[in-house]
Amino acid sequence: MARVKEGVIEERYGQSEGVIEERNGHGVVEVRRYEDLCCPLLLLLYINQLSTSLDLGNFKPLELAALSVLSLKSVNSELVKRVSQRLSSVCDGSERERVGAMGEQTNPTHKDWRTWTLKELEHEYSPSRWCERYSADEVVKQHIDITTRASLVARQTVHCQLNVRYHQGPRALLDVYGEDLPHESPVFVYVHGGFWQWKEGGKDISNTMVTNLHSQGIVTVVLQYDIAPQVGIGEMVEQVRRGVLWACKLATGRGSVGVVLAGWSAGGQLVTQVVSQFGGKEGTNLDMVRGVVSLSGIFDLRPLVSTYVNEPLHLTESTAWSLSPLSRVDGLKSAWVSKGLAFLPLVGQQESNEFKRQAREYAKAWQEVGLEAEEVKVLEGIDHFSIIEDMAVSESPVIRHIIAFINDCTKRKK
């Protein structure tokens, strides 16, 4: 049995397992099994009390492997680096493979979300907690500031038509950028995120990609929709469908080579729900759509039902699943396999494991029904917010991936 005390693991035998004590303000934890090192209580102990004083020289390989799993949840990036380096230095190849496999078994990323505590679920679905640039409280403020400035530049420098009403509802408005471009130019439709409820997250701060796309001859439509609690997600899907139809009509009238949809976070759910739920329905002419880009999208809403996210949404397990694009892959198959529809999933490296898992599972679902879906691109150093901010940077990976995807799926040579 190992004792964790004041940052040092010492050997100790013959004690009962699972004992936790408090002595002189320092946590004393006694554990018998490797798995015990990965309990949430010990995780909090390491992060909150010991992360700055851990003497890694006294840790055995299995103990280091456990710490490696725990430290991934820590905001202390230096701890993550130190644990990883120490684990690599003390293990030979076979032992490293063994402890790595054990880490996969106990790592929360490999657990079914149904087995998680509410605290674990809310942590996974709180993107601001995963950002390494700013604190959770500061990142949203900074994001609004950065995107507001980038969007202002777009409105001042690119030909635009603002506040076009495409449907009923106070927020059912869109902006069009680049109608001065050649008629055959592709049309990129962007739908913002905000967990279906963020008042500040409308179209006025969602134009970061406009100037870079315009420079590449791409028209941009930035679409806004009503949010909770005023309307439910089903109504949001209907509004986005109307907005996409508006953009498809614009593209058809211009003689465009095609339309590419994109959605960030909740917007990813909305655009993929539209193409899977309405793609094959009579009177819903989405034939101009050539591809879909997901920026940290959500495709299975069931994990959110018990969390704070659901407070204004009022989802049940049943309605959450019916509004999940993952539940409608058969609709994708029947509507799009004969016509073709490409999918580009992008997610930041500094996202939670749930956002990455959702992207992988949904991309796999597209592939399994015979549609073209690229492998999930995990963007190094990018978080849930910078993935949008960086679209204003001309050489950023996110904007380069998007431009290449638009050109490819519309068969446009640039």
pLDDT tens digits, one per residue of 17-41: 333 333 334 444 333 333 444 444 4
CATH 2.60.40.10 fits 128-409, yes or no: no
Please count the CA atoms within 13 angstroms of the CA of 236 that sit on its side-chain side. 29
- What letter would DSSP give residue 15? P
What are the start and end residues of each CATH 3.40.50.1820 domain in the chain?
128-409
| Pair of tokens at residue 214 | 């315009």
Cis peptide before 345 (omega within 30 of 0): no
DSSP-derived 3-state class of residue 18 = coil
Q: Where are the alpha helices (DSSP H) in 288-374?
A: 317-322, 329-336, 353-368
Query: What is the structure's pLDDT at 181?
Result: 98
For residue range 60-87, list pLDDT tens digits in order.
Answer: 555 555 555 454 444 444 554 555 555 4
How far apart are the C-alpha atoms of 265 and 297, rounded to whole Å?
Answer: 4
Q: Where are the alpha helices (DSSP H) in 127-186?
A: 136-157
Query: What is the structure's pLDDT at 282?
Result: 54
Is this model's pTM higher than 0.85 or not? no
Query: What's the distance, CA 338 to chain centroid?
Result: 29
For residue range 319-368, list pLDDT tens digits in order.
Answer: 999 999 999 998 888 889 888 999 999 999 999 999 999 999 999 999 99
How far apart are the C-alpha atoms of 244 and 239, rounded to whole Å?
Answer: 9
Beta bridge mates, 28: 5, 21
Query: What is the structure's pLDDT at 152?
Result: 95
Query: What is the structure's pLDDT at 338?
Result: 85
| Phi and psi, residue 184, nearest 5° | -80, 0
